């Protein structure tokens, strides 16, 4: 009841706020008709577009927020955003997935500097966020709703675009170190700079922790599950002229983590080891004519993700196993933008992607031995897309697009979207709406696995609509918005009575997203949001029919406060509330639906600039030492204290 009162008060305050401020404080349009307060984003249209002109539900986590929050990794940054739910099976280094607007974790496309990172050898082509630190990230753009028109497969629920830092104008060297709870330490070092037409950024990140038991100690588990990783990245660029440049990005990741067999009672396994090795690469050129009528880019990307798992026989698990999964993705893309006339531009694109996967799985148990070899298989998808952008007098904006994809196995898929927005200049109020469709190709596993595969599969499908309002006041010191969304998913991959993959499942999600950002005094930023999400399983003849989808909370709210004073001392605090969720507890071949309790987390960080080149900081995660579970039976961090420093030399 108390929580409901808080939520109602927050909603009322959002919608009554326009009555509290006079029109004298409203941002106005300058003499050229250009709004001056908007971020530039690239994910929504694949071109640089002012955020205020977009109908899409998109948010940006910028470099200042990343630095000030002192969060260790990308998944912790995403926890603060509306419409997004993060779930991890244990502590650092353990599997971490993201759900957007009630869609599955496999329905979010993840980009890293233009590289599609979803794992080709995973049954759902999901992305594991457990090994991507925040140290080298410049910004993150989160785009909600079906986005297959611009991005093809995997973007049925949204896109998360992670952009790393580029070379600085002058040479800069940096070193940071941090240590604290669970015998954790991490280092980040590198240098960046430029020389004439050349810029560069080199970064090396190392993390190690003794961790805690992934299977929660509440159920009698005691063995600690540590983790470590090493990540090296290089980003360079050459500006040959005003009209052409070439950029290269490369990242190497190696990681190791101790796993447990499952959550809950007798989940401990001191022998269960996970190893990761990943290489990601992209070479891209950007070009334009002298009059900027025509701009384009062409690129080639490569991803290889190799995962190994092994465990030996223990007291409560008499089996032993070893497995390896090797997935690769090679993609070539071209995009051209034409500014046909002042109110109209046209984007045309072509993509060709080849996914390859192979795996070997062995298990030895008292019930017999089993081996499964997934032979080397591949799939090729070719896509063509077109999008127009219309801007009528900085008042009415319209993005429409259509895409055609051909998959060498299932055939053709056509998707489209339409996204109009209207800005009322007198009050700087934005009215927006979008409608789009999405698809997801069957993974190589679902197509060709000897035991579970079905080469007759069709792609999964989604359709989504949203509509909302945004208001900007007090010279952008106050902004708030509300968006309603509805998504339907059909032809989802499920299993028949013989565990063969078929297009059988369907579901829906709908809800409301609210945000309120305010800068009450100089140096202070308050960001708050709330998400209401209802989901329903609509699969015929399913025991879960009409029940909520797993691990999607109905209620989620965040309040984050950052305050900088005397230009040296920065504090950051956030409160995250996540409501009840459904999950399943698997006991052998049986499963039981369970409720995960809601929880509230409080995190705090503070930093002080001793000199212009030296900063010291400390942070406390889970200040109240709250016990909670994101996955049934799996542990999460308790009260955790960390201290560190960052040294930057120009």
pLDDT tens, residue by residue, 461-474: 999 999 999 999 98
Strand pairing category for 640-649 and 172-180: antiparallel
Residue 475 is predicted with a pLDDT of 83
Q: Are 134 and 144 spatial neighbours (Cβ–Cβ below 8 Å)?
A: no
pLDDT at 271 over 60: yes
Cβ-based neighbour number of residue 520 at 10 Å: 13
pLDDT at 1 over 90: no
pLDDT at 5 over 80: no
Alpha-carbon distance 157 to 464, whole Å?
8
Over range 388-414, report the average pLDDT.
96
Alpha-carbon distance 258 to 224, whole Å?
8
Contacts of 110 (CB under 8 A, 6+ apart): 116, 117, 118, 127, 129, 159, 160, 162
Residue 216 is predicted with a pLDDT of 96
Strand pairing category for 590-596 and 581-587: antiparallel
pLDDT at 13 over 50: no
Over range 270-297, report the average pLDDT.
95
Burial of 390 (0-12, 13-18, 19+ CB in 10 A): middle
**If pLDDT is split at 50, 70 and 90, which confidence band does 230 have?**
very high
Which of 81-85, 313-317, 522-526, 608-612 is predicted with the least confidence, judged by mean pLDDT? 313-317
pLDDT at 199 over 60: yes
Residue 18 is predicted with a pLDDT of 34
pLDDT at 624 over 60: yes
Question: Considering the chain, what percentage of its residues have pLDDT values greater than 70?
Answer: 94
**If pLDDT is split at 50, 70 and 90, which confidence band does 38 have?**
low
DSSP string, 478-532: EEEEEEEEEEEEEEEEEE-TT--EEEEEEEEEEEEEEEEEE--STTEEEEEEEEE
**If pLDDT is split at 50, 70 and 90, which confidence band does 607 have?**
very high
Over range 596-600, report the average pLDDT.
98
Contacts of 596 (CB under 8 A, 6+ apart): 551, 580, 581, 582, 583, 628, 629, 630, 632
Over range 282-298, report the average pLDDT.
93
DSSP string, 287-343: EE-TTSSEEEEEEEEEEEEEEEEEE---SS---EEEEEEEEEEEEEEEEEEEEEETT
pLDDT tens, residue by residue, 471-519: 999 888 999 999 999 999 999 999 998 989 999 999 999 999 999 999 9
Q: Are 145 and 400 spatial neighbours (Cβ–Cβ below 8 Å)?
A: no
Mean pLDDT, the chain, whole residue set: 92
pLDDT at 30 over 80: no
**If pLDDT is split at 50, 70 and 90, which confidence band does 55 have?**
very high
Higher pLDDT, 7 or 641: 641
Over range 538-549, report the average pLDDT.
95
Over range 316-338, report the average pLDDT.
96
Residue 168 is predicted with a pLDDT of 79
Residue 631 is predicted with a pLDDT of 97
Over range 535-551, report the average pLDDT.
96
Over range 313-320, report the average pLDDT.
91
pTM: 0.93
- Domains located in the chain, CATH noted: 2-188+381-649 (2.40.170.20)
Which residues is 263 bridged to in the sheet? Answer: none
pLDDT tens, residue by residue, 490-501: 999 999 989 899
pLDDT at 589 over 80: no
pLDDT tens, residue by residue, 161-191: 999 998 878 899 999 999 999 999 999 999 9
């Amino acid at each position: 009841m108390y929580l409901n009162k808080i939520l109602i008060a927050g909603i009322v305050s959002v919608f009554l706020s326009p009555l509290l401020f006079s029109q004298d404080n409203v941002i106005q349009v300058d003499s050229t008709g250009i709004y001056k307060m908007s971020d530039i984003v690239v994910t929504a249209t694949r071109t640089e577009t002012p955020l205020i002109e977009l109908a899409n539900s998109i948010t940006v986590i910028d470099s200042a927020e990343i630095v000030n929050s002192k969060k260790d990794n990308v998944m912790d940054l995403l926890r603060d955003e509306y419409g997004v739910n993060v779930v991890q099976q244990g502590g650092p280094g353990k599997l971490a997935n993201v759900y957007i607007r009630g869609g599955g974790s496999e329905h979010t496309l993840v980009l890293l500097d233009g590289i599609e990172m979803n794992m080709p050898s995973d049954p759902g082509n999901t992305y594991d966020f457990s090994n991507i630190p925040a140290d080298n990230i410049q910004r993150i753009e989160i785009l909600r709703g079906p986005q297959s028109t611009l991005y093809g497969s995997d973007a049925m629920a949204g896109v998360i675009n992670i952009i790393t830092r580029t070379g600085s104008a002058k040479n800069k060297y940096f070193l940071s170190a941090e240590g604290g709870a669970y015998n954790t330490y991490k280092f980040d070092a590198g240098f960046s700079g430029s020389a004439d037409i050349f810029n560069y950024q080199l970064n090396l990140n190392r993390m190690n922790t003794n961790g805690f038991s992934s299977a929660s100690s509440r159920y009698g588990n005691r063995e600690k599950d540590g983790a470590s990783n090493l990540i090296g990245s290089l980003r360079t660029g050459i500006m040959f002229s005003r009209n052409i440049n070439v950029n290269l990005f490369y990242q190497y990741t190696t990681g190791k983590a101790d796993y447990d067999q499952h959550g809950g009672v007798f989940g401990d396994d001191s022998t269960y080891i996970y190893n990761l090795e990943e290489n990601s690469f992209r070479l891209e050129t950007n070009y334009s004519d002298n009059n900027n009528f025509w701009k384009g880019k062409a690129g080639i990307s490569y991803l290889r993700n190799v995962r190994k798992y092994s465990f030996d026989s223990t007291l409560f698990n008499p089996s032993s196993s070893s497995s390896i999964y090797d997935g690769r993705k090679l993609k070539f893309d071209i995009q051209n933008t034409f500014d046909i006339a002042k109110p109209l531009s046209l984007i045309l694109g072509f993509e060709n992607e080849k996914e390859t996967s192979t795996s070997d799985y062995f298990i030895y148990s008292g019930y017999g031995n089993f081996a499964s070899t997934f032979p080397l298989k591949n799939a090729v998808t070719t896509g063509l897309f077109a999008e127009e952008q219309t801007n009528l007098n900085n008042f009415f904006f319209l993005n429409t697009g259509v895409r055609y994809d051909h998959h060498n196995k299932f055939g053709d898929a056509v998707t489209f979207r339409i996204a109009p927005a209207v800005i009322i200049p007198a009050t700087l109020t934005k009215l927006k709406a979008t409608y789009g469709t999405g698809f997801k190709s069957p993974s190589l596993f679902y197509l060709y696995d000897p035991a579970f595969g079905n080469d007759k599969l069709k792609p999964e499908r989604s359709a989504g609509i949203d509509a909302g309002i945004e208001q900007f006041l007090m010279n952008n010191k106050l902004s708030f918005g509300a968006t309603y969304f509805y998504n339907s998913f059909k032809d989802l991959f499920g299993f028949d009575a013989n565990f063969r993959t078929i297009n059988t499942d369907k579901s829906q999600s709908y809800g409301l997203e609210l945000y309120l950002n305010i800068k009450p005094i100089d140096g202070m930023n308050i960001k708050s949001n709330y998400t209401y999400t209802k989901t329903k399983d609509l699969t015929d003849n399913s025991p879960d029919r009409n029940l909520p989808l797993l691990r999607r909370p109905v209620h989620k709210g965040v309040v984050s406060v950052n305050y900088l004073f005397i230009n040296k001392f920065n504090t950051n605090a956030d409160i995250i509330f996540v409501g009840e969720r459904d999950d399943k507890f698997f006991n052998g071949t049986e499963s039981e639906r369970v409720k995960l309790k809601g929880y509230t987390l409080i995190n705090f960080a503070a930093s002080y600039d001793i000199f212009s080149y030296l900063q010291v900081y400390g942070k406390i995660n889970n200040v109240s030492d709250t016990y909670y579970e994101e996955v049934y039976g799996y542990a999460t961090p308790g009260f955790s204290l960390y201290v560190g420093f960052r040294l930057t030399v120009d």
